[in-house]
């Protein structure tokens, strides 16, 4: 077992490797494999300047996600930070920063909208929106950008419809979501301005829906605030805002990265799905494992000493859990650098684990499965029009979104 030293030692972060590691195109940083072999429990320096133990093995990540002593509450003055402020990660009212009963209270309010049964009921709506977007792509004609025209547009229209947000405002959410989830390179001032605009929009929308209620999820959230007073006003605002940001940024990133892999080179994997569409659900699971969400990283702080399989986390120390750090661990995934739709493997953990397992996981997988199937059915000749190494990414500190995916058909 590796001991990481005292909390005081952990505070000296200047000489630690900078994290996130540079990610060349769609390929995970080589440092993950190197650290699994030589330093599976070492520290890194976060963008904020704070130190954290980087978890890169499947067994460490699975154990950390399930351990309540690794707290999600990063709002205290001495808590480690992933990024420099301002960031939604420092907001004490978001569900990500809640633990225990307070966290369960917020989850109960919205959980009914995101069950596996509800996700199944949304599949016809997802298919309808997917067909509408493909109609628009065909009307405009190739070439096209699949990120803006499909990968981002699909989940944002769905979350707008689920919440009850006007769909004509959907395009405004791309910049706002990037700012809210640190998904693009912005100065602190730019981030603050965009997040403020996002919150102002949602404040006006909530006021309008209070005046004229409907039957959407946002009305349920307002009722939870105004009726049984289960939400504070700030919790209502940040929950509605967070659902929009989380409901499109990560799904759009996952879909665009999956398509880039399927359409790369000889399109062998794409052709396999054309020949056997029943493999699409298994392909989505494997592509989520293989592509990850780039440098999307969870941060936790130990509220007491915690022994993980590879070492001890001391009280007050942080652990950083990159979403794609453990997804190529050969102990969990034999031949991890190969895409295998028939893989019999443990869960990817890309949606988290334990009590903070992503509420939107079932809806996200439905969007990815239906969205991919629609493209296979409607645009079987889809192909990328630029070399793989020319694909551009946002360079965000938390989510490294694909800027564009140029295609033709």
User: Which domain does 340 fall in, by range?
Assistant: 2-408
Long-range interactions of 282-286: CB distance < 8 A, separation 24+: 282/341, 282/342, 283/341, 283/372, 284/258, 284/365, 284/368, 284/369, 284/372, 285/348, 285/365, 286/339, 286/340, 286/341, 286/343
Q: What is the pLDDT of residue 34?
A: 95
Task: Please determine, for residue 359, whether its predicted confidence score (pLDDT) is greater than 90.
Answer: no
Q: What is the pLDDT of residue 248?
A: 78
Q: What is the pLDDT of residue 187?
A: 76
Q: What is the pLDDT of residue 244?
A: 82
Task: Please determine, for residue 227, whether its predicted confidence score (pLDDT) is greater than 70.
Answer: no
Count how many domains the chain has.
Answer: 1
Give 310-339 pLDDT, tens digit per residue.
999 999 999 999 878 899 999 999 999 999
**CB-CB contact of 137 with 129 (8 Å):** no
CA distance 289 to 284: 9
Q: What is the pLDDT of residue 208?
A: 92
CA distance 95 to 371: 28
**CB-CB contact of 164 with 192 (8 Å):** no
Task: Please determine, for residue 75, whether its predicted confidence score (pLDDT) is greater than 80.
Answer: no
**CATH number, domain with residue 280:** 1.10.630.10
Task: Please determine, for residue 178, whether its predicted confidence score (pLDDT) is greater than 80.
Answer: no
Give 304-317 pLDDT, tens digit per residue.
999 999 999 999 99
6 or 53, higher pLDDT: 53
Task: Please determine, for residue 143, whether its predicted confidence score (pLDDT) is greater than 60.
Answer: yes
Q: Tell me the average pLDDT across 343-372.
A: 88
Give 268-286 pLDDT, tens digit per residue.
999 999 999 999 999 999 9
């Amino acid at each position: 077992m590796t001991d990481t030293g005292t909390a005081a030692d952990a505070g000296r972060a200047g000489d630690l490797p900078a994290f996130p590691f540079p990610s060349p195109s769609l390929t995970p940083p080589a440092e993950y494999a190197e650290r699994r072999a030589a330093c599976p429990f070492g520290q890194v320096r976060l963008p904020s300047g704070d130190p954290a133990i980087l978890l890169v093995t499947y067994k460490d990540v699975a154990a950390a996600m399930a351990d309540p002593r690794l707290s999600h509450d990063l709002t205290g003055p001495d808590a480690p930070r992933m990024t420099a402020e301002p960031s939604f990660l420092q907001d004490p009212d978001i569900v990500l920063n809640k633990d225990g009963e307070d966290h369960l209270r917020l989850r109960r309010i919205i959980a009914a909208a995101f069950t596996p049964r509800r996700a199944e009921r949304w599949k016809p709506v997802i298919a309808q929106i997917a067909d509408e977007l493909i109609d628009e792509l065909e009307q405009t004609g190739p070439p096209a950008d699949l990120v803006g025209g499909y990968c981002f547009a699909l989940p944002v229209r769905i979350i707008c419809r689920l919440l009850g947000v006007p769909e004509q405002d959907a395009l405004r959410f791309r910049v706002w979501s990037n700012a809210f989830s640190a998904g693009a390179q912005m100065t602190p001032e730019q981030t603050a301005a965009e997040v403020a605009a996002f919150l102002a929009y949602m404040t006006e929308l909530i006021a309008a829906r209070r005046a004229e209620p409907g039957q959407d999820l946002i009305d349920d959230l307002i009722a939870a605030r105004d009726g049984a007073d289960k939400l504070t006003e700030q919790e209502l605002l940040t929950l509605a805002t967070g659902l929009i940001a989380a409901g499109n940024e990560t799904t759009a990133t996952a879909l665009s990265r999956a398509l880039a892999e399927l359409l790369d080179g000889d399109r062998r994997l794409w052709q396999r799905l054309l020949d056997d569409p029943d493999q699409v659900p298994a392909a989505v699971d494997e592509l989520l494992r293989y592509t990850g969400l780039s440098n999307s990283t969870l941060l936790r702080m130990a509220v007491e000493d915690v022994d993980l399989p590879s070492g001890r986390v001391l009280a007050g120390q942080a652990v950083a859990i990159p979403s794609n750090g453990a997804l190529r661990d050969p102990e969990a995934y034999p031949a991890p650098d190969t895409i295998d739709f028939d893989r019999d493997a443990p869960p990817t953990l890309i949606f988290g684990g334990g009590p903070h397992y992503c509420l939107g996981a079932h809806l996200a997988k439905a969007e990815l499965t239906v969205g991919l199937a629609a493209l296979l059915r409607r645009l079987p000749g889809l192909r990328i029009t630029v070399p793989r190494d020319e694909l551009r990414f946002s360079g965000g500190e938390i989510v490294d979104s694909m800027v564009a995916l140029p295609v033709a058909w």
